Amino acid sequence: MSKAKDLGFSKDRLKRIESFFQTKYVEPGRIPCAQIIVARDGETAFESVLGLADVERKVPLKSDAVYRIYSMTNPIACVALMTLVEEGLIALDDPVAKHIPAFANLAVFAAGVGPFATTPVAKPMQVVDLMRHTSGLTYGFQSRTNVDAAYRKMEVENAHNGRDLEGFIAELAKLPLEFSPGEAWNYSVSTDVVGYLVQKVAGKPLGEVLKERIFDPLKMVDTGFFVREDQRDRFTACYSASPTGPMDLQAKPTGQLTLNDDPKKSPFLKAPPMESGGGGLVSTAADYLRFTNMLANGGELEGARIISPMTLRLMASNHLPGGQDLTQLSRSLFSESTYAGIGFGLGFAVVFDPPKTLIPCSKGEFYWGGAASTAFWVDPVEHISVVFMTQLMPSTTYQIRRELRTLVYSALMESRA
């Protein structure tokens, strides 16, 4: 924390972050580990590495640990698509069916358990609907509707069931939408479709596109769709807070950790048939910090320009219809975001009414998280970026993200607002 004071933080207050997570979460065994990095102006003000990377084998967590980042893949896939938008190869108001002909006949669920009764869409799905999750698509783990049940039965979002992105699109096209595009917000496989669009428009596999356009320029050397041989000894174990399953949204935490994914047997140890733009990446805290620092710096890092400042500004604006927030438009049982005062941009949640959130934040701040309780946020007003890594499913188990925000901003002594 040698630069903390120069960067406008109180060293003593930053120390409270480590103490808080150690005593409340790590020591009692509520989470296996925690890695926290707080940066300002691209420089690290605080970093803490706590707990065990593998509880069963008693492997201490190290700063170069490799994590499953799940939905924190979303912003990366969306940035990749926006690089193609910048080149004029695809547009946000393009009908998705222009690029995916199989989506031309999508209809809205009306009744049934399959075959379904459907009604026509009020308007075609556009590319922007995928990026802001107003597409009408869903996730099977939402466990809310008959369409969710059909997703589970067909294992639509399973990247390891032998189906590639082409097969994923073909299966998805057989199912009805939850609602007509643009009418509501529902967290969904939309960003997997974004990943498919990136692959199709760029004319090469999604992983190659991400490597060429984002990972290599930003020197994100540990990020990819599977754990390489040389990374295996750094790969963390993933846990569930309840033995009822990793995505049981109704399950109450028991305070005990149940092994969800053994790092020695994980499906992430080999390349998946389907490269999931919605949740397939593994990464390190240092790599993801480089991505967030690029975003905090207006789309550029250390001379590597990924997207323009205007493109990033567009991404970090609220794109929900009518300027609504998620309390007004969401039909989702699951989200990596709280709702009040929060809208959704092109790949992440966006704060547009800070007082309504009831937590410290800045207008224009954007963020998202992953199913294993990982999280990041970028504050363009205060020039702050924060990365939090752990491996506990589901991410709704504890209010870690709210607590971390409060702790970080209580340590900020020099505001730029």
pLDDT tens-digit profile of 312-351?
999 999 999 999 999 899 888 767 767 789 999 999 999 9
Q: How far apart are CA 192 and CA 240, in angstroms?
A: 24
Average pLDDT over residues 346-373: 96
Query: Are 299 and 308 contacting, i.e. CB atoms less than 8 angstroms apart?
Result: yes
pLDDT of residue 247: 45
pLDDT tens digit string along 262-297? 999 999 999 999 999 999 999 999 999 999 999 999
pLDDT tens digits for range 256-271: 899 999 999 999 999 9
- Give backbone dihedrals phi and psi of 4, rounded to 5 degrees, phi first: -55, -50
Q: What is the pLDDT of residue 141?
A: 85
CA distance 126 to 103: 11
pLDDT of residue 253: 53
Q: Return the pLDDT at 377.
A: 98
pLDDT exceeds 60 at position 254: no
Tokens representing 38 are: 């707080």
Percent of the chain surpassing pLDDT 70: 96
pLDDT at 249: 46
User: What is the helix (H) or strand (E) element at residue 200, kind and residue range?
Assistant: helix 190-202
pLDDT over threshold 50, residue 245: no
Report the C-alpha gap between 392 and 412 in whole angstroms: 28
Q: What sign for the dihedral angle of Cα 157, 328, 90, 364?
A: negative
For the residues 369-389, what does the mean pLDDT come to?
A: 97
Mean pLDDT of 347-371: 96
pLDDT digits (tens, 9 = 90+) for 59-69: 999 999 999 99
* Predicted pLDDT of residue 246: 43
Say what the pLDDT of residue 66 is: 98
- What CATH class does 92-202 carry? mainly alpha
Domain boundaries, the chain: 11-80+220-410, 92-202
Adjacent-strand bridge partners of 67:
283
Are the beta carbons of 339 and 327 closer than 8 angstroms?
yes
The reported pLDDT for the residue numbered 339 is 76
Question: What local confidence, expressed as pLDDT, does residue 332 receive?
Answer: 83
Second-level CATH architecture of 11-80+220-410: 3-Layer(aba) Sandwich (3.40)
DSSP 8-state class, residue 24: I
Is residue 42 over pLDDT 90? yes
| pLDDT single digits (tens) 74-100 | 999 999 999 999 999 999 999 999 999
User: pLDDT tens digit string along 198-235?
Assistant: 999 999 999 999 999 999 999 999 999 999 999 999 99
**pLDDT > 70? residue 389:** yes
Rounded to whole angstroms, how far apart are CA atoms 114 and 153? 11
Res. 352: pLDDT tops 80: yes
What integer best gives the mean pLDDT of the chain? 94
Q: Identify whether the C-beta of residue 259 lies closer than 8 Å to the C-beta of residue 29.
A: no
Contact residues for 227 (Cβ-Cβ < 8 A; gap 6+)? 66, 235, 263, 266, 268, 269, 282
